[in-house]
Structure 1
Amino acid sequence: MSESFTPYDETDPLSIEQYGQRLIGKTFMDVIQEANLSYDTKTEIIDKYGNPRRKGGLGNLLEEIYFGYKANSDQQADFFEAGVELKATPYERLKSGKIRAGERLVITMIGYDQPIEIDFSTSHVLDKINIILLVYYLRNKELEKNLYYPIDYVKLFSPPKEDMRIIKEDYEKIVSKIQNGQAHELSEGDTMYLGACTKGSTALKSTVPQYYAPDIPARKRAFCFKNSYMTYVLNKYIVQDVDTYEPIIRDVSELEHTTFEQLIISKINAYVGQTDKELCEIFERDYNNNKSQWIDLAYRMLGIKSNRAQEFIKANIVVKAIRLEKNGTMRESSPLPPMKLMEFVNEDWEDSTLYSYFEETRFLFVVFKKDGDFYKLKGCQLWNMPRTDLDEVVKDGWEKIRTVVQNGIKLTKKETASGVIIKNNLPGKRENPIIHIRPHSQKRFYILENGEKIGDGSYADAEQLQDGRWMQKQSFWMNNSYVLSQLDEGLE
């Protein structure tokens, strides 16, 4: 493009940003209608980009119609002379008033047909993320067309130094797995901020041979910023909302000779051998023996008082306190976030809440073992679910539970010596080695087909089924036996 044809300086990031900020307050339809195009061309563009199923369509629209260059899949940055990459990405407003990123931010495809770029400092990924012009639009699915989504924020963003160190570690971890012929085992949960997300509508359609392991097919994937990271960027740097997070890394020099993962483990392992009672005394915390106590101690060992670790929020790391009994058994299974049966029943596996949760989440297991009257710290590990466990075992359990819900859950009233209980035909813990489903809260509330109400809870503790009955809210749980099997040697 020649400078005379563009209303911005192609070599100046600030000029590009200033021109982009003229989009604020407009919808994508406004962009089309205000463009100097014929009626037929505008109609053609509306048909082309007005399909909400078209991935990346709104970003391509801005590239071609507003910024005046042809959308492409080049590895270099969009405004290569300025080193600026353009990314249009949705955000959503929750009922609570808070906002979150609508999806992960895809950066560039991972090529399986040729050697992977090993050095992050010379990679196309770095070219694409060094300076990003983020265009955030509010996704409102109630609107007739996605072209009516309003553009609310336009701002340049460059990952800060401390983030870039972790992004480099993430890149090297992904590259290492690909080089080892393990691209089929990649998961977003492997890494912190930079992920390897799947591309393609189904596993079958998007499976290709690996360059480093031609006989083992792997899902097409792209480098991306994880949804959790983009939500943090949105709130911290774009909207500049109140920052209530505490950093684990106080100075980027802490990562000079170690990785973030090693830093986390060393901080917690410095207290190995201390009992929960002793840790409470060290951190001047009441020893109240409630369930949150051990998670709170995990954060305290990391130097966090609020349980809002900045890096964990960005990386979607969930802290799980694992308490083992003297004989090495684990008393309780591990609850996952609450679910809605009537939403779950209409999901497809790879678009399901459960799949996304395990695909994108890392866990920090902090292990305590019973010693006398207290629990002694054994250590910790960062863990995410192995790909085969998710794609095979968890999927099988999920499908069996969904089938029961689709066919209609059977609720059976039973009189016992301790009172009335309600039994159901959902698959139990013995039906799957990894997951099961059971009530999320202790308060019961049921309304049977005859209108009879049972339980000490209320409508807030229950969910209405498709036939009008009400049932106590449910959630998935990770089986305690499975969690125990995943612990590193020395932590059992």
Structure 2
Amino acid sequence: MLNEERSFSSLEEVTKLLIAAEGKTFRELDETGRGDSAGNKGSLGNIIEESVLHYPVNSDAEADILVGDTRYELKVTPLKHSGKGKRTKTVAKERLVLDIINYENLPKENFEDSRFWNKSKNIIMVYYYDDREDKKTQSRLDCKVLKSVVLHYDENDLATIRDDWETIHEKVASGHANQLSESDTNYLAACTKGANASSMRDAPAPAGSGKARIRAKQRAFSFKSSFMTSIAERALVSRIEEYSLPIPSNQTLSEFLWQQMSPYIGRSVDDIALRLGISKSDSKASKSRLVMKMVGAEGRSVDTIEQFRKANVTKLKTVVLYPDGLPKENMSFRQITEEEWQGLASFDAKWEDSFLYEYFEENKFFIVSFKSPVPYSQHVAGNDRLVGGFLWNMPEKDIEQYVRPVWERLHELMLSGGSVHYGRGTNLLPGASFNGVCHLRPKGQNSDDVARLPNGESITKQCFWLDRHYVAELIRENQKVNGNVK
């Protein structure tokens, strides 16, 4: 009999039903045949609702079930194994989408009474592993339920989530919903949501613009996959060894970084090294070590620090600006894998689903700048002075204006099947002059470090770069006079 009211007397009643499902496949649990008739990913959640908790599928605005006087949202979400051998670890397979953002109503809300928080403050997570290698022949219905847990927010996580919500709220309320990006925030993101990432809806326009509404991509509140990984590790007691910065609950990651770095603003690299008791070095890596020591994480990389990992801060980039206001080099990011080259040749490939859009849409970078008192020809690394640092993500408008054309050009080239004329003086890949900001350049270990293109050609592995003029400008825009981390 279906529980039409979706009401339970206690959490124990709910968890008893969910525990009974652990270790079983969704196919085994499915009492209605919904899984075989529904191609959408949500069918797994529907199976848990109908066949395990025995209440009817719904699309209500309020949270799914009532336990006593408290409402709980039910979320069925996949995990996967990453790495090999002893390095194998459990990670979230995807972000957790929570609720569509209503741009019209959001400006009227405050966090405590918001629709987002009403649906998200109490969540029951149902985990399953999805390690399928061939999704065309292997069905999700054969994945097994792993474990069900009630999500608990610790004090620091909640402070960050609240700050993220305020960031999204302010951007929408000020009339800039069309400039939202997942990487604007740390744990809670505004991800694109709809039939495709081009789905649009009305949003408030900026004051003084002369119009009441603008069009913005439909987005949903979601927890980033990096944050979901940390939640899963906590729930499954499989947390990897990582360092946690001692950030007070009333302080954001950005504020903490500024606090740690501010005593050294304006000091030379040699002076900072002396004060911190570390050896001097002229290598670029030495500046990274210096920065990590300043913020209290000596000898660690950003991907081993809890707060960076949760916020998807994936790289530390140190930049030296010379008297002309520019760095000597462009800034490199990630390589294109052979699998990604192959994907570019697909007629079904879409920009909104591309690895390149995802990379700049979701990732944040910790950029720390130094200033050399002399031109590059006279440069002495130890004399570079710390200007400051900031957490940066590429603005949505820049992703569309500068990164998208690069992807479209690559997609066009791979679809054509013709030669890219690599290394022949007529290279067709988008180079430094393509749009003045985003381009491709080789970044292999040597000339033998190559990638095979869909047309059979082999070229030196390629990396995405941002032009040094753009890098200098983003530093000027983000860096306050006192070097504040923002």
TM-score, with structure 2 as normaliser: 0.85
Q: Secondary structure at the match of 1:23?
A: coil
The answer on whether the counterparts of 2:80 and 2:92 sit within 8 Å (CA) in structure 1 is yes
Answer yes or no: is 1:425 the counterpart of 2:414: no
Q: Deviations over 1:209-253 (max 9, x none)?
A: 115564311111111101111122222x1332243222223442x
Structure 1 counterpart of 2:200? 207
Task: Report the CA distance shift for 1:184/1:433 in structure 2 as closer, same or farther (over 3 A).
Answer: same
Compute the displacement of 1:280 (Å): 2.4
Structure 2 counterpart of 1:71? 57
Q: Deviations over 1:316-347 (max 9, x none)?
A: 11322111123322112222122222234444
Q: Which moved more, 1:338-347 or 1:178-187?
A: 338-347
Answer yes or no: is 1:321 the counterpart of 2:330: no
Compute the displacement of 1:440 (Å): 2.2
Structure 1 counterpart of 2:459? 471
Whole-angstrom CA distance in 1 between matches of 2:5 and 2:440: 60
Task: Report the CA distance shift for 1:159/1:215 in structure 2 as closer, same or farther (over 3 A).
Answer: same
Task: Report the CA distance shift for 1:59/1:393 in structure 2 as closer, same or farther (over 3 A).
Answer: same
Whole-angstrom CA distance in 1 between matches of 2:77 and 2:343: 25
Whole-angstrom CA distance in 1 between matches of 2:409 and 2:455: 20
Q: Deviations over 1:138-169 (max 9, x none)?
A: 22152532211222232222111110001001
Answer yes or no: is 1:404 the counterpart of 2:413: yes
Structure 1: tracts of 5 or more residues without a match? 36-40, 415-421, 446-460
Structure 2 counterpart of 1:458? none
Match of 1:393, as an amino acid? Y
Structure 2 counterpart of 1:122? 113
Q: Secondary structure at the match of 1:137?
A: strand
Structure 1 counterpart of 2:229? 231
Structure 1 counterpart of 2:356? 354
Whole-angstrom CA distance in 2 between matches of 1:295 and 1:345: 38
Task: Report the CA distance shift for 1:115/1:246 in structure 2 as closer, same or farther (over 3 A).
Answer: closer
Match of 2:327 among 317, 321, 330: 330
Answer yes or no: is 1:47 the counterpart of 2:12: no
Answer yes or no: is 1:281 the counterpart of 2:274: yes
Structure 2 counterpart of 1:365? 367
Q: Secondary structure at the match of 1:120?
A: coil
| 1:233-312 matches, cutoff 5 A | 233-235=231-233, 237-252=234-249, 255=250, 258-305=251-298, 306-307=300-301, 308-312=304-308
Compute the displacement of 1:362 (Å): 1.9
Q: Which moved more, 1:395-404 or 1:74-83?
A: 74-83
Whole-angstrom CA distance in 1 between matches of 2:395 and 2:172: 15
Whole-angstrom CA distance in 2 between matches of 1:75 and 1:4: 16
Task: Report the CA distance shift for 1:465/1:392 in structure 2 as closer, same or farther (over 3 A).
Answer: same
Q: Secondary structure at the match of 1:80?
A: strand
Whole-angstrom CA distance in 2 between matches of 1:370 and 1:339: 33
Compute the displacement of 1:360 (Å): 1.0
Whole-angstrom CA distance in 2 between matches of 1:468 and 1:436: 22
The answer on whether the counterparts of 2:344 and 2:410 sit within 8 Å (CA) in structure 1 is no
Structure 1 counterpart of 2:174? 180
Compute the displacement of 1:91 (Å): 1.7
Compute the displacement of 1:88 (Å): 0.6
Whole-angstrom CA distance in 1 between matches of 2:220 and 2:422: 48
Structure 2: tracts of 5 or more residues without a match? 207-211, 375-379
Match of 1:483 among 465, 471, 477: 471
Q: Secondary structure at the match of 1:329?
A: coil
Compute the displacement of 1:402 (Å): 2.8
Q: Secondary structure at the match of 2:97?
A: strand
The answer on whether the counterparts of 1:268 and 1:302 sit within 8 Å (CA) in structure 2 is yes
Task: Report the CA distance shift for 1:326/1:128 in structure 2 as closer, same or farther (over 3 A).
Answer: same
Give identity over the alignment, percent: 29
Task: Report the CA distance shift for 1:266/1:85 in structure 2 as closer, same or farther (over 3 A).
Answer: same
Match of 1:136 among 127, 138, 142: 127
Structure 1 counterpart of 2:96? 105
Match of 1:410, as an amino acid? V
Whole-angstrom CA distance in 2 between matches of 1:87 and 1:386: 30
Task: Report the CA distance shift for 1:342/1:319 in structure 2 as closer, same or farther (over 3 A).
Answer: same
Q: Secondary structure at the match of 1:463?
A: strand
Q: Secondary structure at the match of 1:26?
A: coil
Whole-angstrom CA distance in 2 between matches of 1:332 and 1:99: 37
Compute the displacement of 1:115 (Å): 4.9
Q: Deviations over 1:448-471 (max 9, x none)?
A: xxxxxxxxxxxxx32222243432
Structure 2 counterpart of 1:13? 11
Task: Report the CA distance shift for 1:105/1:412 in structure 2 as closer, same or farther (over 3 A).
Answer: closer
Whole-angstrom CA distance in 1 between matches of 2:293 and 2:227: 23
Whole-angstrom CA distance in 2 between matches of 1:380 and 1:90: 35
Answer yes or no: is 1:155 the counterpart of 2:152: no
The answer on whether the counterparts of 1:21 and 1:155 sit within 8 Å (CA) in structure 2 is no
Whole-angstrom CA distance in 2 between matches of 1:274 and 1:14: 59
